[in-house]
Amino acid sequence: MISSMILIFSLAHLPIHQDAKPVYTPTISKESDEAQKALGGFKVPKGFNLKLFAAEPHLANPVAFTIDNKNRFFVVETFRLHTGALDIRSYMKWLDDDLGLKSVEDRTKLLQNIAAEKPHDFQKDHDRIKIIIDRDGDGKADFSEVYADGFNSIPAGIAAGILVRGNKTWFTCIPDLWLLQDTKNQGKADSRTSLHNGFGVHIAFIGHDLHGLTMGMDGKIYFSIGDRGTNISNPKNKINLPNMGAVFRCDQDGSNLEVFYKGLRNPQELAFDAYGNLFTVDNNSDGGDQARAIYLVEGGDSGWRFGYQFIEKPNARGPWNAEGLWKPRFEGQPNYIIPPMINMSSGPSGLVYYPGTGFSKEYDNHFFLCDFRGAPANSGIWSFSFKKEGAGFSMQNPKQFLWSILATDVDFGPDGNMYVSDWVNGWNKPGKGRIYKLSDDKESASPITKEVKTLLGEGFENRSDIELIKLLEHVDLRVRRESQFALAEKGSSSITKFASVAKGETSLFSRMHAIWGLGQIGRKDGASVIPILLPLLNDKDPEIRAQSAKVLGELKAKEARKPLLAMLNDSEPRVQFFASQALVKLPSIENIPALIELLDKNQNKDVYLRHGCVVALAAINDAKALSAYAKNNSPGIRMGATLALRQLESEEISNFLTDSNQEIADEAARAIYDIPIAKSLTDLAQTITLGNTKTTHNLRRVLAANRRIGTNQNAIEIAKLAAKQQTPNEIRMEALEYLEKWGEEGKRDFITGLARPTKAANTADAINALKTNLPALLGADIKISKETIRVAAALKINEIIPELITSLKNNSLEGKFRADSLKALNSLKAPETKSLAEAALADASDLVRAEAIRVYSHLQPDYPEKSAETIFKKGSLKEQQALIGILGESKSPSSKDKLKGLVQDATSGKTQPGVLLEIAEAGLKAGIGESKNLIQDDISKPNAMAFALEGGDKEAGKNVFFQKIAVACLRCHKVEGQGGDVGPELNGIGSKQKREYLLESLILPEKNIAKGFESLLLVLSNGKTVTGILKQDKPNELVLMDFEGKLITVKKTDIDEKKAGKSAMPADLYKQLSRYELRDLVEYLASLKQ
């Protein structure tokens, strides 16, 4: 395996021979009229016309695509989804290994280990690029061929990004950023070079890949990765971001690679607007959070870390949810992040900016976003725009544009039409794929649209300088940008041309492109360019001032430093922001006063202005100078200094741990613990004595720091904190849990969820600390008292026995706690246990009686057999389940005989359904072969998984629903106000549907698609098609609601063909659950009565 992988990587850097033919022939659906018929099911905006451009077998499984200036389509197809590229949710036993990976090489070894345990051919399937062309110009594709394939190394995929310019193609397929070239203009890549390797450290979630390829106004390549992470280590580049998604940029030849933005989860697409601002919409974590529209500014951090995905308690997703990192800005939100502008969509994927021609003026400055939700009925494309707000933006007019299509990507062609790739249905490979063309009825044939197609098609390299200069003010962004690039590629000879435009009275767009073009040339000839740009810092147009500052910063123009400092006082926040960003590239101790002054004026109001100052201060790299501001009276200054010290990862940040402003103290604590800053960990731990003056977020990190250090004194301080009445209850509970697990080693971090081992501490220290504080803890409110009793029992503290006995006898307490008290008494070998258990056999609570059966059976071995008949006749479900478990553990022949009888009764339907699973499991444990017939796992058989209908644990089922990563119920369904909106809301489902329906919906989601989510396509006898959501199925007619919200009644006799849309719920999701978890989930769903 390793040798073949090395061979593939070696060959990947060599030219491909002209006569080389791909040998990979994946399974693709045959040509049919399906794609044409599907047109009737899409909600098309008024004034637009949607037509099929290409379908299978021209393409399949399209992840992304781009269109070059010749109107050729380059489509990224994946065939490695779930076969070559895995999803850790299907391999959860390997999760800790995955979290601990540091490099692509580590991941490759882990994949080989997985394959060694369960044979898997990671190289069978390829990802590839297909080129599709409409050769005869009739508006429909008539030619396709493979442009490049062979992307099938062990760590490869899935491929997810593509960018084409001329004969060069940039292509992202983990672990590489590729440059492919068609040097012979034959429509095939005849050379390929890995520009960078090291992307995709983790297996993580499928689809969190390398993607988002786009070209900036600076001529650089920008691209993104999800939280599979990055570790690039070679003589030219050292980038180590293994636990988060990020945005990178580099020159077109791969040089000057740098991190542009970080802390993202899965930003599948990036898009620049006409002013050079970069945006993305990042995916949610399926944990009740929402997707986010983000203005990407250099040096920014959105706060996501890979480990958050797998945190289940005390808060699902840890700080991500608990501290609201995914929400638009609010008071008390962590300050180190760039908060999103707005929460929108559920499955953001493709994103494109309208270039300016092809549609009406209504869509100027608009973006279009694909929202992929697993099924076409509630998926589609959004449109929206951004409006300047301070130094940042706010979203305007978000609305559904083209709907009911499972779009993965969207782009504009040279012909002015919008093109959309359609995955067709589901989350797995459909073996199908379509591209549809959306045309504006009025604008598609306009002279300007035709002009753009001609200009782009002819290219720009042979145009005169005069023509290129004129085209810099063209209405179409693509024409302007290509003209800029063509002039810039001519080098220093274009400087005077650009200068005349930049300084002149031409349009704003032409002046900006001239400035950007000068920036491109200035990377090689800064001495000639910088003097031209300097005067523009004083231009009357604020946008020109902002763009000039940005470019001068990129050029590291020392002459600009002082003028840029003056610009920090500009009247426009956007200009101030770009001036501060430029100063990042021009660090000097002399910059500090002006940056500090802006922090003071801003007072944390504009997060972008603060960010600009913070990164500029951090670039100076003088931690002592920043630390000196700890005594400053201005909260804005102290916050800025704290955040800059965070960026420097300096122990000087400890000086802000006790700041009078709690938000500043919190930021210091976050930085020290989360990054971590190891030298300051003790300082953080020692603030535990401040106790109730801190926020829960701060105290969590203080507790974790004390546990990490793990001395006797740390245990004492944690116990004291737990005992204080002023300490928030949730922190007291967590403190007690730390004491309970004091002697255990840990693999994951308590706060971040990342691989960060903790050594076992001395359990005796925790025991003694808890003993000392027992009176105060037991005198607390009932919740804390109960948790103290539980933890003390777990630590074998015999002094707790009287409290356990009291709890057991207190009928006012809930049954579970009383049952746990009895269980604890047994584990502590309390002398009174047997008599207490015997008495508890008659308790009013079935949970207590069930536990009494377990305890008493071990203390009185003949009890199970003597009492079996009575319990099975009169006992509750919980009691019967408990007794069956005891019988299954017994080695006696008579117990086995009892079990045989139970198996026979269950087979003939004489037992209640709620004990089927216990009988089956106990029978199998006892070697009774017939038991396996009771747990029918073949879902094609009648009564499949009937064992899961009744008998589950509601609370355990709730935990599955809200916390189990492998099934991520919250990703699509909303309950109690939490969750996604991809699928139906489940409040009240238990009163609307029977348990059989609930179970069937889990194991056969296609069979029972919820009302309002079942889409139908009807082909009528007159040749017309009708599509909509099924509202009523009457004896003689169907009532559908179309995508305008109108009801349509269709006689069944008029229907020639009926096709139902598939469920967005993966068909095999139930396989990620144990039998008990499946039963528990049914129980929880059945309990949702309101």
- pLDDT tens, 33-79? 999 999 988 999 999 999 999 999 999 999 999 999 999 999 999 99
DSSP assignment of 356-378: SSSS-GGGTTEEEEEE--SSGGG
DSSP assignment of 973-1007: -EETTEE-SSS---TTHHHHS-HHHHHHHHH-TTT
User: What phi-psi label fits residue 219: left (phi over 0), alpha (psi between -120 and 50 degrees) or beta?
Assistant: left
> 954-1010+1066-1087, which class in CATH?
mainly alpha
pLDDT at 912 over 50: yes
442 to 363, 401, 445, 476: CA distances (angstroms): 14, 17, 7, 17
- pLDDT tens, 686-724? 999 986 678 999 999 999 999 999 999 999 999 999 999
In one-letter notation, the amino acid at residue 611 is H
- pLDDT tens, 247-282? 999 999 999 999 999 999 999 999 999 999 999 999
Return mean pLDDT, the chain: 92
pLDDT at 496 over 50: yes
Q: How far apart are CA 35 and CA 31, in angstroms?
A: 9
Confidence band, pLDDT 50/70/90 cuts, at residue 14: very low
Share of the chain above pLDDT 70, in %: 94
Give the pTM. Answer: 0.89
* CB 154 within 8 Å of CB 146: no
- CA 789-316-663 angle, to 5 degrees, is 90
Q: How far apart are CA 379 and CA 577, in angstroms?
A: 37
Domain 2-42+60-440, CATH number (from 2.120.10.30, 1.10.630.10, 3.40.50.970, 3.40.50.10470): 2.120.10.30
pLDDT at 504 over 50: yes
Fold for 1015-1060, please state it: SH3 type barrels. (2.30.30)
For 112-121, 138-147, 433-442, 1046-1055, which range has the lowest pLDDT when averaged over its residues?
1046-1055
Given this model, what pLDDT does residue 211 score? Answer: 98
Q: How many CA atoms lie within 13 A of 235 on its CB side?
A: 0
Q: How many CB atoms lie within 10 A of CB 591?
A: 23
The count of residues in the chain is: 1090
Sole residue written with tokens 């808890």: 770
Given this model, what pLDDT does residue 1077 score? Answer: 86
If one compares 219 and 872, the residue with the highest pLDDT of the two is: 219
pLDDT at 228 over 70: yes
**Core vs surface per residue 968-995: b (16+ CB within 10 A) or e:** bbbbbbbbeeebbebbbbbbebbeebeb
Average pLDDT in the 478-506 region?
97
Nearest residue to 791 via CA among 686, 720, 719, 845: 719
Confidence band, pLDDT 50/70/90 cuts, at residue 951: confident
pLDDT at 499 over 60: yes
* CB 52 within 8 Å of CB 36: yes
If one compares 489 and 779, the residue with the highest pLDDT of the two is: 489
Confidence band, pLDDT 50/70/90 cuts, at residue 1013: low
pLDDT at 842 over 50: yes
Share of the chain above pLDDT 90, in %: 75
Q: How many CB atoms lie within 10 A of CB 385?
A: 18
Given this model, what pLDDT does residue 5 score? Answer: 35
Quote the tokens at residue 770.
């808890």
Given this model, what pLDDT does residue 159 score? Answer: 98
Given this model, what pLDDT does residue 917 score? Answer: 87
Tell me how far apart the terminal alpha carbons of the chain are, to the nearest angstrom.
55
Listed by start position, the domains of the chain span: 2-42+60-440, 954-1010+1066-1087, 1015-1060
Residue 672 gets which letter from DSSP?
A: H
Average pLDDT in the 176-199 region?
96
Given this model, what pLDDT does residue 118 score? Answer: 86
Given this model, what pLDDT does residue 1065 score? Answer: 66
**Core vs surface per residue 167-197: b (16+ CB within 10 A) or e:** eebbbbbbbbbbbbbbeeeeebbbebbbbbb
If one compares 215 and 1025, the residue with the highest pLDDT of the two is: 215
- pLDDT tens, 914-942? 888 888 888 888 888 888 888 776 666 66
89 to 110, 203, 1048: CA distances (angstroms): 15, 10, 42
Given this model, what pLDDT does residue 236 score? Answer: 86
Confidence band, pLDDT 50/70/90 cuts, at residue 1011: low
- Per DSSP, the three-state class of 311 is coil
Q: How far apart are CA 785 and CA 729, in angstroms?
A: 11
* CB 570 within 8 Å of CB 604: no
Q: How many CB atoms lie within 10 A of CB 942?
A: 7
Q: Which residues neighbour 76 within 8 Å (Cβ) at sequence distance 6 or greater?
A: 62, 63, 64, 65, 127, 128, 129, 159, 160, 161, 162, 171
Given this model, what pLDDT does residue 348 score? Answer: 98
Q: How far apart are CA 153 and CA 192, in angstroms?
A: 15
In one-letter notation, the amino acid at residue 315 is N
Confidence band, pLDDT 50/70/90 cuts, at residue 514: very high
Nearest residue to 87 via CA among 182, 195, 181, 204: 204
- Per DSSP, the three-state class of 353 is strand
- pLDDT tens, 311-340? 998 989 999 999 999 999 999 999 999 999
Nearest residue to 43 via CA among 1031, 1041, 1063: 1041
- pLDDT tens, 155-169? 999 999 999 999 999
* CB 63 within 8 Å of CB 408: yes
pLDDT at 20 over 90: no
- CA 1041-1042-1046 angle, to 5 degrees, is 70
- pLDDT tens, 190-205? 999 999 999 999 999 9
* CB 1089 within 8 Å of CB 988: yes
Q: How many CA atoms lie within 13 A of 736 on its CB side?
A: 29
- pLDDT tens, 740-751? 999 999 999 999
Given this model, what pLDDT does residue 756 score? Answer: 98
Given this model, what pLDDT does residue 6 score? Answer: 33
Sole residue written with tokens 């992840």: 63
Q: How far apart are CA 697 and CA 124, in angstroms?
A: 47
Nearest residue to 110 via CA among 132, 126, 88: 88
Q: How many CB atoms lie within 10 A of CB 493?
A: 10
pLDDT at 131 over 60: yes
Q: How many CB atoms lie within 10 A of CB 108?
A: 20
The DSSP bridge pattern shows strands 366-371 and 342-343 to be unpaired
